[in-house]
Amino acid sequence: MKVTPTQLPEVLLLEPRVFGDSRGFFFESWNEREFERAGIRARFVQDNHSRSGKGVLRGLHYQVRQPQGKLIRVIAGEIFDVAVDIRRSSPGFGKWEGVRLSTESHSMLWIPVGFAHGFCVLSDFAEVLYKATDFYSPEHERCLLWNDPELGIAWALPAPVLSAKDAAGTRLRDAEVFP
């Protein structure tokens, strides 16, 4: 597996070894031993699967208690995936990283605890799988405003389709974040 640190060094782009032939392909999307060698020591407790249409933007989500590390991959389509550092004590506080993930690339993104996460769908639809290190806790879930000018995220969509919750996200300067 090729591991590439992003501009936010804790957020890692993971490119598994893919074995393909005329029948199709095979790769390991999770191997605890290999991920530990890459510095990812995670115990996953929940797998999530979402399907969204073109132009949908989900996020930027995080949980202030029961925080979740997430391993993101796309099994159909293409997304622009974003992580935002929301650890006030971090030199990267308020910075973001965005990468394209697609079915064809097989790449995955590791987003550790302390980051908000969101994505927008670039293809006609996308199915996204992500493993989480803690259980979903709606009472602790928070949402950053996707277009907060202080973050300046260069989303690949000018006018995304949003849920009411995501449209009403909080600006980083007013958000409950990590120490």
130 catalytically annotated = yes
- Of 11, 39, 151, the closest CA to residue 93 belongs to 151
In angstroms, the Cα distances linking 20 to 17, 23, 26, 157 are 10, 7, 6, 33
- Which listed residue (49, 61, 106, 117) is catalytic? 61
Distance in Å from the first CA to the final CA of the chain: 32
In angstroms, the Cα distances linking 79 to 122, 133, 140 are 5, 22, 26
Residue 138 DSSP code = G
- Which listed residue (62, 106, 117, 130) is catalytic? 130
**Cα 89 off chain centre by:** 21
**Contact status, residue 105 vs residue 2, Cβ threshold 8 Å:** no
49 catalytically annotated = no
| Residues designated catalytic | 61, 130
